[in-house]
A and B are shown apart, each in its own frame.
Chain A
Amino acid sequence: MQAEELRLDGNAAGGALREIFARDVTAAIARCAGCGATAPMGALLEYGHAMGVILRCPTCDTAVLRAARTPGWTRVDVVGISFLMIPENVANS
C-alpha cells in the first residue's frame, strides 16, 4: 500500500485536535512556518500513526503539527504553525 493511500484530511483529526485545543479547530486557519501558505486545519494532510498524528502543509509538505500520546502525556509540536486564527462562535465547537 502506498503512503499516499493512507493520507487523510486534517478534518479527520478533528477529535484528536479537540483534546488538545479544547474546541473544534478544523475551521481554524493555520499559516505554515515553512512556506507561508494559509489553509484551514481541516484542509491539511493528515498522516495518522499508532501513537498520534502528523498534519502536513498541502503546499510544501512541512510538518505543521505533530501530536503523540505517550503514557501520562500528550506531546504536541506546533513549530510548523507560524500563526493560527481560530473562528469564534462556530456551531458545535
Chain B
Amino acid sequence: MATVVELHNETQRARTLVLDVPDWPGHRAGQHVDVRLVAEDGYQAQRSYSIASAPETAAVSLTVERLDDGEVSPYLCDALGVGDGLEVRGPIGGYFVWDFAQGGPLLLVAGGSGIVPLMAMLRHHAAADAGARAGVPVRLLYSARHLGDVIYRAELEQLAACPEIRTSFALTRDAPPDWNGYRRRIDRAMLEEVGWPVAEMPHAFVCGPTPLVESVANLLVELGHAPARVRTERFGPTGS
C-alpha cells in the first residue's frame, strides 16, 4: 500500500501524486503502475498510470489527467488527500522503457498526458552527468489542445535551455497571439522538421491518445524509420 506524500496541480485537469511506496524495487523510465480502487461494496476498478519521476528519485510520482466520465481519475484528482493510502502494483513494463545506456538520439512525441512517461525519460536524462548527456541529444514534440493544458511547462522550458535538448510544441485548438510554436495537429511535415534524419537512427517513443499515437507511428515508418525503433504507448480514446 502506497501513501500519498504530496499533491501538485499541474494544470486544471492534471495532478501529480507523489507516493511513498514501501519496498519499491526501483523503476525504469517509461514504466507504469496499476492503481486499484476498491469501494466499500467490494466493487473494484483498476487503471494504469505512467510513472513521471526519474529512476534516480526515491519517491514515485504519477501524473493523472482527470477524465470527467472516468471511474478512477476523478477520485485521484479531486478526492485523494495527502496521507491517504493507495493500492499500487508495479513497476510494470519492459517494452516502452528507455535506459540512459541505450543512448540516443531520442525522439519523444507526446499528445496530451502522453508526456508523462516521456517526462520520466527526460528527467532520467537530466540526472546523467553533463558530459554523458551531450552524447545523447533529445528532441521532444508535444501536442496539446491549449497552452494551459501543457503539463510540466516550466520544467520543460528549463530543460530546453540545455544545448542537447530541443523542445517543440503544437497547440491544436487555440494559441496565444504571440505563440511561435505550431498551431496544428502533428503531421508529416512537422515530424520531418523537428525529428531526426533516418540516418541518425533515433530511438522514438510516442505516447498519447490512440489515434495520435497510431498516426505518428505510421508517419515515422513512412519517413523511413525502422518500426522496431518506434515504440508506442497508446492511452486509449481522447478525453473529450
The size of the chain B interface, using a CB distance under 8 A, is 29
Q: Shortest distance in angstroms between B109's beta carbon and chain A's nearest beta carbon?
A: 15
B210 sits at the interface (CB 8 A): yes
A42 touches B28 (CB 8 A): no
| Chain B neighbourhood of A24, CB < 8 A | 92-94
A4 touches B211 (CB 8 A): yes
A7 sits at the interface (CB 8 A): yes
Which has the most chain A C-beta neighbours within 10 Å: B25, B48, B211, B238?
B48
A80 sits at the interface (CB 8 A): no
Closest chain A residue to B36, Cβ basis = A15
A4 touches B94 (CB 8 A): no
Given A4-B211, A5-B236, A14-B32; A93-B48 close (CB under 8 Å): no
The size of the chain A interface, using a CB distance under 8 A, is 26
B211 touches A27 (CB 8 A): no
Indicate with 1 or 0, residue by residue over B202-238, a CB within 8 angstroms of chain A CB atoms. Answer: 0000000111001000000000000000011111111
B26 touches A92 (CB 8 A): yes
A91 sits at the interface (CB 8 A): yes
Given A12-B48, A15-B89, A92-B28; A4-B96 close (CB under 8 Å): no
Closest chain A residue to B48, Cβ basis = A12
B94 touches A90 (CB 8 A): yes
How many Å lie between the Cα of A71 and that of B137 in the bound state? Answer: 50
Q: Shortest distance in angstroms between B30's beta carbon and chain A's nearest beta carbon?
A: 9
| Chain B neighbourhood of A5, CB < 8 A | 209-211, 236-238
Interface residues of A in 1-58 (CB under 8 A from B): 1, 4-12, 14-15, 18, 24-27, 40-43
| Chain B neighbourhood of A7, CB < 8 A | 210, 214, 234, 236
How many Å lie between the Cα of A20 and that of B82 in the bound state? Answer: 34
A4 touches B210 (CB 8 A): yes
Instruction: List the 3 closest A-B pairs by CB distance, nearest first.
Output: A42-B95, A27-B94, A14-B92
A4-B210, A14-B93 given; 20 more Cβ-contact pairs under 8 Å: A1-B237, A5-B209, A6-B237, A7-B214, A9-B95, A9-B232, A9-B233, A11-B93, A11-B233, A14-B32, A15-B34, A15-B48, A15-B92, A26-B94, A26-B96, A40-B95, A42-B93, A91-B26, A91-B28, A92-B94
